[in-house]
Amino acid sequence: MLIDTRPYTSAIRPSASSPITHQDVLIVTFQIEHQRYGLALEVVREIVRLPAMIMLAGAPPALCGLLNLRGQHLPVLDGRVLVGECRQYDLSSQIVIAGRAQPELGLLVDQVYEVCAVAADRITPINRTDVAPFLTNVFVLADTSVLLFDLTKLVALTSDTAKRKSKHESQRREPRV
């Protein structure tokens, strides 16, 4: 399903239960295991069903592989592994395609729920060093805490992975003396 940038014409729409104000942040919510998570609508490009992916030998567990999205190969991060759950996905799993100007990565999740409007003052920063760096904020939605992923930090994870992999490969290719 494609996330349209025009006001609410896409298949994913803000919940009709509350009116939207200028101070609201629109969040795409999804489930990973028993916890609800979210990502700002402004960076979500589309939602796709789990397709065949290109597996990458030697990739870290959080990197599922590459997704061929209309000719562009995107890294796909396993949301379950990122949050400390066991790797497990099936044909009902979904991939949230995210990026700023263009798609940058996919995030494999158990189920996408809805777009909700959250008052900016209800979103609380997570200021702890012992929490995964890509989980930056939290808010309450219908008595459920929703943890927010940060796209910039997710993209940094894919970049760090690529750098480590290329460094490891270049070290293997250098002849030993």
The pLDDT tens digits for 79-91 are: 999 999 888 878 8
73 falls in which pLDDT band (50, 70, 90)? very high
| More confident position, 20 or 27 | 27
Determine how many CB atoms are found less than 10 A away from the CB of residue 108: 24
Res. 1 pLDDT band, cuts 50 70 90: low
Tell me what pLDDT residue 128 has: 83
Mean pLDDT of the chain: 82
Q: Above 50 in pLDDT, residue 47?
A: yes
pLDDT of 172 higher than 90: no
DSSP for residue 120: G
* Predicted pLDDT at 83: 93
Domain ranges of the chain: 24-166
Q: Mind listing the pLDDT tens digit for each residue in 114-163?
A: 999 999 999 999 988 888 899 999 999 999 999 999 999 999 988 765 55
Q: Which CATH class is domain 24-166?
A: mainly beta
Q: Please give the residue that has the higher pLDDT: either 174 or 112.
A: 112
Model pLDDT, residue 22: 64
Q: Output the CA angle 103-105-94, nearest 5 degrees.
A: 100
Exposed e or buried b for every residue in 53-92, given b needs 16+ CB within 10 A? beebeebeebbbbbbebeeeebbbbbbbbbbeeeeebeee
Would you say residue 169 has pLDDT above 90?
no
pLDDT in tens, 5-18: 433 333 444 555 55
CB distance 12 to 29 below 8 Å: no
Q: What percentage of the chain reaches a pLDDT higher than 70?
A: 77
Spatial contact of 40 and 25, defined as CB atoms under 8 Å apart = yes
Distance CA 4, CA 177 (A): 57
